[in-house]
Structure 1
Amino acid sequence: MTIRAVVFDFGGVLFDWSPHHLYRKLIADDHERQWFLDNICTQAWNTEQDAGRPLAEATQILIDQHPQHRYLITAYYDRWHEMLRGPLPEGVAILQALHTANMPLFGLTNWSAETFPYARKHYPFLQCLRDIVVSGEVKLIKPDPAIYHASLAQVRAHLADIQPSEVVFIDDVADNAEAASALGWQGIHHVSAEQTSARLRELGVGF
């Protein structure tokens, strides 16, 4: 078996993103902040935007439901860039080492189409990727098999005869990595850069 392409997830692999980075500035109490993120601006709500729902619509839905939290709800996307602390150096080091070794690289991320341009503009290492499937642009979301099919089609636009078993997918969410494996890809659950590097080498990827 020969690995001919590597596909990277972004959050938790290449980027340090968390609502807590912003809301620590807005809600000092740890328990109060956690309650807000568990009950108002939840991950499930954010995922709907990653799947293509407009940010303005999503914000208004929550304001209508919880008007007393208008300020905190509005801050979620008005100050979204403050949730993106920056790159994860060890993950980016893997990306750049593979790029230097001439491995074809791609991205597959659950990310809002409206916020992703900020990442493209501010993080040049994304230029190592030949192409990127952004969930909010295709209106599909991991771990739906359809988004993996879209990613494979994108990879095949560059490497026409590539097979799923020749593609590695790296994601920090186990369900997402397992969904790729279920479709015949080489899914890697990213727990640490050291473990991911070791697994890549087991698969015969030299870098």
Structure 2
Amino acid sequence: MTLQAIVFDIGNVLIEWQPERFFDRQVGPSRRQDLFATVPLHVLNDEVDRGQNFTDTILGAADQYPAFRDEIHLWHDRWIEMASPEIPHSIRLLRALRGKGVPVLALSNFGIETFEIARRHYPFLEEFDQKFISGHMGLIKPDPAIYEALEQASGFAPDTLLFTDDRSENIAAAGARGWYTHLFEGAQGWADCLIAHGVLSESEAA
């Protein structure tokens, strides 16, 4: 079957997501290393992505790890600075697809509250035809159920979908369901993939 819809991850595809870089700037590499070695921030972030309350989860950790209270509060209070900047070429690709009438879907591990913060900061997140956000679904990639849920809700068969994500395990899970996939390592590589599949021309993907 031919491609009928394009599915974008968001973090590190449309918006950079680099918490360690943010903390290196704020507290220095040594303190950042101690922070991440002691406080399971990425595990907590996964729980937020599964639908747990952002404020309760992160500030609860600040109470649990008082030696890093200030740093944990930074994760909560300045979250948008970790989820930045936007990736302009990827946004152009999103809009080029929309301009051609190609359905464009989002499938992203994102908390309920954090996605609302991101939506206010990045208006292009409203430009998808459908959004599948893990916090609202109670599922996170690479659980096969989240891919099945997108198929069921969108009506697109697996072999009509092309998906890009920056994490190989998420790509592998989609591929196991029959989706076409592209491991995102930069916007130009994604553009080349869309050209190779005949979805965009070279000029449209520039």
How far apart, in 1, do the equivalents of 2:181 and 2:59 lie?
A: 37
The equivalent position to 1:166 in structure 2, one of 160, 164, 175, is 160
Correspondence for 1:7: 7
The alpha-carbon deviation at position 144 of structure 1 amounts to 0.3
Deviates more, 1:112-121 or 1:5-14: 112-121
Deviates more, 1:39-48 or 1:16-25: 16-25
Q: Give the aligned length.
A: 201
Identity percentage of aligned residues: 35
The alpha-carbon deviation at position 172 of structure 1 amounts to 0.7
CA change 1:38–1:98 in 2 (3 A) is farther
Gaps of 5+ in 1: 157-161
Correspondence for 1:53: 52
Query: Deviation string for 1:38-60 (max 9, x for gaps)?
Result: 43153122111111111233224
After superposing on structure 2, the runs of 4+ consecutive aligned residues of structure 1 that deviate more than 6 Å are none
- Using structure 2 for the length normalisation, give the TM-score: 0.89
The alpha-carbon deviation at position 133 of structure 1 amounts to 0.8
1:65-84 aligned at under 5 Å gives the runs: 65-84=64-83
1:36-185 aligned at under 5 Å gives the runs: 36-156=35-155, 162-185=156-179
Gaps of 5+ in 2: 202-206
Correspondence for 2:181: 187
How far apart, in 1, do the equivalents of 2:169 and 2:100 lie?
A: 29
* Structure 2 letter corresponding to 1:141: I
How far apart, in 2, do the equivalents of 1:102 and 1:33 lie?
A: 45
CA change 1:187–1:38 in 2 (3 A) is farther
Question: SS at the partner of 2:11?
Answer: coil
